[in-house]
Structure 1
Amino acid sequence: MSPTGPRVVSLVPSVTETLVAWGRPPVACTRFCEQPGIPHVGGTKRPRIAAIVEMAPDLVVMCDEENRIEDHDALRAAGLEVHVASPRTVADVPEVLAALAAAVGVEVSPPPPAPPPTPPGQPRVAFVPIWARPWMTLNADTYGASVLAAAGWSSAWADDPVRYPEVTVEEVRARGVDAVLAPTEPWAFTVDDLPGLAGTFGARAVLVDGQDLFWWGARTEGAVRRLVRALA
């Protein structure tokens, strides 16, 4: 352990962003973490296990939503300490951040104890295409859906038993959604896609920040506020 704290490898973009915001950047991260100044050790699904082991970090941070159990097990088998940070809802974030801060030896001000209040009224229903070939969306048991709920929206597939179900254009049209909320990731939708999405699904299309919708951590509180403004 260095004098400034444990040497951490982060395999979770949300964690990397949060550690940087706390002034405790990891010694390595994934190429999806958008931190060109920090060495990369592969992707979230295909990390370079041998390279991580060779670095001999004090801690590796993973998430069951983004990383694979076989990589977790391989790192543990190599004798590395692994901390799992996996919030399912906006309300889970304060506790997860407190545990992460303790694991990396950082003192941070506790985040707000509750998510921002949901706007009044009946939640509007959205189709959120997280993938386009095939079309995929999200149910209520996902972090992204909890961010939507905090902003006064719900997924048209909230009650689906599959967390990320495949859907068809005909199914989306049949549900009569209020809007198509096209995130900038994981599928990289842009403003140029909005007219086509609106025509395909028969509803207005709005571009939303995919990181605000799916990344949690230091950005969570502001992300909900930004989403409310974007969808007003």
Structure 2
Amino acid sequence: MRRTIIDMMGREVEYSYPPKRIVSVVPSQTELLYDLGLDEEVVGITKFCVHPEAWFRSKTRIGGTKQLYIDKIRDLKPDLIIANKEENTQDQIEELAKEFPVWLSDIQNIPQALQMIQVVGQLAGKEHKAAGIVDHVVGGFNALKRATAPKRVAYFIWYKPWMSVGKDTFISNMIHTIGWQNVFADRSRYPEITLEELKEYNPELVLLSSEPFPFKEKHIDEIKAILPNADVKLVDGEMFSWYGSRMLKAVGYMQAISNS
């Protein structure tokens, strides 16, 4: 049976329903497919799709999110590719879309993430399971006790150059949801920040993410050298940036970190 659905970019996507050969090129959406109860239907994932570990070890890997192996994907003959505007490159997605149905998500905040979960559930014929995940995520965030002190926070995702997050990102929305303030909310997307600029913005709290750059203890010292009074922490980047079913675990993590 053929179905047509509109993706989050407003594109019309026609595909075979239910899909039997799915390629997922976004780690958080790969994990969601697993939590929706799929298994054999998912035939290809990226090298960054580390959850679940069983899939990471057994599924065909088709490159990285920004460097997909198009020929490998062709060999898998997918009847649906699930991608993301930001995490994948436009030229590769356009190339794949000439041959295969490609559904694109576009996510900058929690409501859009919840919409994505619901629609992916529809795509895969797992609407009931998707609704359950959404209900649990909504309930968790509704129960989240926001930080009593709205700390001014800088969150870094990359090193050399130092890169942070602007207002129109999912990570910034998560920071706001905790009850904190993103000091770079006046910037767009993922701005490069010099340490001199960071000193001028003078955040009370600096968060160094575990991904995509794996910050370590040694990087804390660099920040402390220019912001001796700031609190600098290493944080789990998946909890801040994975907008699928990982949000079920993110609620508890956010609660703990906002109270620390």
Equivalent AA in structure 1 for residue 196 of structure 2: E
| 1:70 matched to 2:91 | yes
Q: Which residue of 1 aligns with 2:184?
A: 157
Query: Structure 2 CA distance, aligned partners of 1:201 and 1:16?
Result: 38
| 1:81 matched to 2:81 | no
How far the C-alpha of 1:71 sits from its partner, in A, is 1.1
Q: Which residue of 1 aligns with 2:38?
A: 24
Aligned CA RMSD, in angstroms, stands at 2.2
Unaligned runs of 5+ in 1: none
Q: Which residue of 2 aligns with 1:53?
A: 74
1:140 is paired with a residue whose SS is coil
How far the C-alpha of 1:118 sits from its partner, in A, is 6.1
Q: Tell whether the 8 Å contact from 2:147 to 2:258 is kept in structure 1 after alignment.
A: no
User: Residues 142 and 159 from structure 1, CA distance in 2 versus in 1: closer, same or farther, beyond 3 angstroms?
Assistant: same
Q: Deviations over 1:174-208 (max 9, x none)?
A: 11211111110111013453344323433111111
Equivalent AA in structure 1 for residue 124 of structure 2: V
Q: Which residue of 2 aligns with 1:170?
A: 196
Q: Which region of structure 1 is more displaced relative to structure 2, 109-118 or 200-209? A: 109-118
Equivalent AA in structure 1 for residue 252 of structure 2: R
Q: Tell whether the 8 Å contact from 2:18 to 2:124 is kept in structure 1 after alignment.
A: no
How far the C-alpha of 1:127 sits from its partner, in A, is 1.2
1:130 is paired with a residue whose SS is strand
Q: Which region of structure 1 is more displaced relative to structure 2, 9-18 or 83-92? A: 83-92
Q: Which has the higher strand share?
A: 2
User: Residues 59 and 109 from structure 1, CA distance in 2 versus in 1: closer, same or farther, beyond 3 angstroms?
Assistant: closer
Equivalent AA in structure 1 for residue 168 of structure 2: D
Equivalent AA in structure 2 for residue 174 of structure 1: E
Aligned residues: 230
Query: Structure 1 CA distance, aligned partners of 2:254 and 2:235?
Result: 7
Following TM superposition, the consecutive aligned residue runs of length 4 or more in structure 1 with deviations greater than 2 angstroms are 1-6, 112-118, 120-123, 190-202
User: Residues 158 and 224 from structure 1, CA distance in 2 versus in 1: closer, same or farther, beyond 3 angstroms?
Assistant: farther
Q: Which residue of 2 aligns with 1:33?
A: 49
Unaligned runs of 5+ in 2: 2-15, 51-55
Q: Which residue of 2 aligns with 1:106?
A: 126
How far the C-alpha of 1:220 sits from its partner, in A, is 1.2
| 1:95 matched to 2:109 | no
Aligned sequence identity (%): 29
1:96 is paired with a residue whose SS is helix
Q: Tell whether the 8 Å contact from 1:208 to 1:227 is kept in structure 2 after alignment.
A: no
Q: Tell whether the 8 Å contact from 2:66 to 2:88 is kept in structure 1 after alignment.
A: yes
